[in-house]
DNA sequence: AAATTTAATGATAATGATTGTCATGTGCAA
DNA sequence: TTGCACATGACAATCATTATCATTAAATTT
């Protein structure tokens, strides 16, 4: 019954790469980066591992407008992101006021079992200076 | 130079269907609905028209987690949505406090040219009662 | 240290939404 | 009416993601 997650070389490699990366990266990018450092791993495995890590809330998954799914190693508490559209650098942000606002709005309209997506995009200071 | 948008039968049909629809719908769904009512239209044209309308801010476009792009005729002011995961019924919401919060947070971190995505998902009253 | 069990891997094929192509159609301004 | 530029749509292409399934290899049990 209890789902046993096996400790494989590939899973460790994906997790380790994410630990060393600050930006959101796509599955394909992560695959390429692993390859570049000589780690033998299949693309399918990268997809499955990222999915599995995301489900276990060990990595964050998001999809920017017009883009593919991106993954990043984040803190475990609920939070959102401020992402540079140009370089991908990411700042984790929390907004207690926003959280309670979302709950209140939803309740006012008779909705239950609420979830939300909230992401900020912009140009970071470094990229602004070209 | 000035982009002239031609008044075609197909474009009118898509716009009209959106006017009569309250929920977010995918391009494929809109294509099917048009077909069902006997409107001859190509799928490519539906995609292009929706894109064009979205660019002109005449319809709202969003993409729920794990889903395809969805389109809906909305009011023109900036707003967000509270969407039922079960039936798709949608409530437009505004959050002035959230808007200013987003601007402030971004500025504090040196980000400029800010945009954001914010959507609430839940189960509506009707669907809660099964 | 085997033997066993069963999840994980990965090469490959399939899927499916979206976009590109391009010959033909048509809105509309002159 | 005529002419032209944009619009249409059948069809092919793209490409991220998922499904298959034979093989590998953790973890557990003898
Ligand atoms: Mn939140
Ligand atoms: Mn907003
Ligand atoms: Zn940047
Ligand atoms: Zn509902």
Contact between residue A121 and residue A83 where contact means Cβ atoms under 8 Å apart: yes
| Beta carbons within 10 angstroms of residue B22's beta carbon | 11
Burial of B83: CB neighbours in 10 Å, binned 0-12, 13-18, 19+ = buried
Q: What is the pLDDT of residue B2?
A: 56
pLDDT tens, N- to C-terminus, chain A (130 residues)? 567 899 999 999 999 999 999 999 999 999 999 999 999 999 999 999 999 999 999 999 999 999 999 999 999 899 999 999 888 899 999 999 999 999 999 999 999 999 999 999 999 999 999 7
Instruction: List, in order of start, the domains of chain B with CATH numbers.
Output: 1-75 (1.10.10.10), 76-130 (3.30.1490.190)
Provide the 8-state DSSP code for B108.
Answer: H
Residue A6's nearest nucleotide, by CA–C1', is D26
Chain B residue closest in CA terms to A128: B112
Contact between residue B121 and residue B62 where contact means Cβ atoms under 8 Å apart: no
The answer to whether B7 CB is within 7 Å of strand C is: yes
Among all protein residues, pick the one whose CA is nearest to the C1' atom of D18: A44
* C-alpha span between A113 and A78 (Å, rounded): 16
Asked if A87 is an interface residue toward chain B (Cβ–Cβ < 8 A), one would say no
**Residues B55-104 pLDDT 10s:** 999 999 999 999 999 999 988 889 999 999 888 899 999 999 999 999 99
To the nearest whole angstrom, how far is the Cα of B32 from the nearest Cα of chain A?
24
* C-alpha span between B61 and B24 (Å, rounded): 8
């Amino acid at each position: 019954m209890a789902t046993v997650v096996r400790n494989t070389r590939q899973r460790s490699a994906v997790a380790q790469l994410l630990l060393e990366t600050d930006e959101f990266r796509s599955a394909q990018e992560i695959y390429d980066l692993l390859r570049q450092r000589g780690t033998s791993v299949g693309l399918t495995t990268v997809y499955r591992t990222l999915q599995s890590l995301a489900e276990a809330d060990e990595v964050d998954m998001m999809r920017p407008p017009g883009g593919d799914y991106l993954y990043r190693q984040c803190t475990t508490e609920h939070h959102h992101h401020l992402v540079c559209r140009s370089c991908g650098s990411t700042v984790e942000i929390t907004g207690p006021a926003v959280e309670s606002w979302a709950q209140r709005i939803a309740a006012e309209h008779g909705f239950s079992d609420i979830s939300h997506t909230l992401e900020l995009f912009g140009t970071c200071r470094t990229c602004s200076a070209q």
